[in-house]
Structure 1
Amino acid sequence: MAGPPRLTPSPDSAHPGGGRATIFDVAEAAGVSRQTVTRAVNGMPGISAATKQRVLAAAERLDYRPSRFGRGLVTGGEHQLGLVVNDLRNPYTPQLASAVFRLAAEQGWNVMLADVDLSSDADRMVQALGAQTDVVIGYLGSRRHRWSELLGSVPMVELDPSAEPTTAAVRMDPSAAIEDLADHLVTAGVRHPVVLDHAEPDRTSARGVLLMDALHRRGYLPELVRVPHPTAESGAEETVAVLARRRRLDAVLAFNDVMALGVLQACRRAGVDVPGEVRVVGVDGLPLGSLVSPTLTTLAVDLDAVAREALDLALGMLAGELPRHGAAVQRTVRHRLLLRESA
């Protein structure tokens, strides 16, 4: 096991006293000193790989996890929550983080934040986060399996997984809202929509697939434009390019609200009336969308609900009331179509 062992003992724990295993129990079971256990569970140098594996196996068998307090990590609160996010420069991220911080505070939790996109060593940051917290919540993406190994048996709640989750997870499902949006576009007389998707050149995001499918089923032949960065700058740049080659464009459906704000900027600079000539739609429901002119139509998700579901799962797993994976720890928060001036 590559990460920190479990927080609390299970009913079949090998700890002879039947209570919470201590560092001395692990040392005795592995036949090493207390200092060697400390080195092994915290990934410190100075011991062989074989010894480290023996210690971690004993810790796993005893369901042992080192105390935060014993490592001088006392910061108050009953629990420490680790939050993994992608990029604090994206307005979506602090919006989500504020929801998690606020609801965690109500539960008496402290929150430690790790921005893995801005880190020079994301793996090390995630491993350190797991060593200092009781549960980790956040966006894991394509690195989920590696980080699961680094976190060991620290409970994890993945947010918006792009594939079948291997841990507890809170899905954000825009499918029903996308169907409502597609129906609205038909009613509004839209004929030539463009989907600005955030994806690699030869791939389409799950969100992009849903948008394209809903439009195809209604007889549209939308253009799909893949954008490498989900930023306002990218949204504006791609919109300029699309406008230059396709003046019949009458709707732009952006991957997120931030890109949609870039679309609005590009249309304004090009003298294109929104929504008279082109309707613009984003995804996320950020408060920023209500502050621009025209106000931004969006597929909104309740980030407070996302944070609430994630924290409920975390509490349930820590209390031993929920398993660490499976259908019992899968929750879904759905988007809704929020019609504003831009569409």
Structure 2
Amino acid sequence: MNLEKKMNSSKSLKLNTPQTLILYEDMVLGRYFEDMCAQMYYRGKMFGFVHLYTGQEAISSGVIKALQPTDYVCSTYRDHVHALSKGVTAREVMAELFGKETGCCKGRGGSMHIFSKEHNFLGGFAFIGEGIPVALGAAFQSMYRKQVLGESDQLPVTVSFFGDGTTNVGQFFECLNMAALWKLPIIFLVENNQWAIGMAHPRSSSIPEIHTKAAAFGIPGIEVDGMDVLAVHKVTQEAIARARAGEGPTLIEALTYRFRGHSLADPDELRSFQEKEAWTARDPIKRLANYIVENNLATATELEEINQSIKSIVEDSVEFATNSPEPAVEDLYKYLFL
């Protein structure tokens, strides 16, 4: 498959310098944050399963930075970077990963269950497909408030993130069908990183081209280069405009690759060195950095200053999490619905 020819290109997208640098900063934040998570996990600061997003940053930044604060995002168990892009602070996310009281879920959620009501971030979910119906419900309430309650605010859009393996389970098809029937303002965003844990995507789906499944429901299906943040941003803006106009959902398949194993407990022995090398050569952060310098949006020195600033934010988040209090034993049943 010729990735460059088959997928949507970013050539027609023109962003100003501040917009482009916002995307760059957000991608770098995601990368450095996840790299630090790996360090902290192996030092015993985090527990349970931790699934990193390294390599897929162009999707989170390209999609979420096209949204408004009033829009909703529903994630997966690979949710740290989605939360950061939506505005949850590095301190809150890191403290949550450390199981501290200052975390965004008071230390009760952990890696796979990042949530923030303040930022309309509807959470990460441990099981595949689990978040899609939740996202569908968010989109339904947005439409209900507009059409039934007569609210005059701009129609909020919901983005539901999920992986390629999820597109073979029932919730995917059921929710696409319902969203199409009711023309709900939702974007179904498939992060096709080619592997569902240890199963190569072409071996698990009778139709490997996931975006073509949209045709069964009469909605647009778009394939985009998930390693090109500008291309992702462009198709997302178009899908958002369609949703806000009441024209219904869009299915976007972003082709990408995770640079690490399925989780930090995965030795990653199933994928070939040649495959990994081919994809890491298309690192989305390096591609955007080259674009910025070549188009005189910023110098290499200015980008390095951004990198150092982001590193300081991530290091500060670790210090904050380390010094934060543990949840009190007497609060064991706090925040539960009994």
With normalisation by structure 1, the TM-score equals 0.26
Structure of greater Rg:
1
Question: 1 or 2, which has the higher strand percentage?
Answer: 1
| Structure-2-length-normalised TM-score | 0.26
Looking at secondary structure, tell me which structure has more helix per residue: 2
